[in-house]
Structure 1
Amino acid sequence: MSDVNENDQTLEEIAKERMEELPGETALGHRDPAAGGEGEPEDFHGNSDVPLPE
């Protein structure tokens, strides 16, 4: 049971870090500097490079 709880906590930490990195965008899909994040919205490729716990 503790493994599930540890995995949940790990996934939650990864999600928080990823949310901070997400590039903010306007309704038209353009970069919104006030929203924070890194890079341009059209360059964001999702979570393919994020290792997840097994």
Structure 2
Amino acid sequence: MHFSLYKDPAGHWRWTLYAVNNRKIANSGEGYWNKTDCLAAINLVKGSGSAPVYER
């Protein structure tokens, strides 16, 4: 898996997470003015491996 960090047409930073087979499996859902904020969001996703999963 890997993250792709990029600027969208509005100039905001965004990320997309790709699986090993290069299929998109997640994205930022919002743009960030600062690259640092976008990288912090990526780190939140990386660190959420122990988060519980709830079925609705």
Structure 1 length normalisation: TM-score? 0.32
- Radius of gyration: which is bigger? 1
* TM-score, length basis structure 2: 0.31
- Looking at both structures, which has the greater relative contact order when contacts are Cα pairs under 8 Å and sequence separation is at least 6? 1
- Determine which structure has the larger strand proportion and give its number: 2
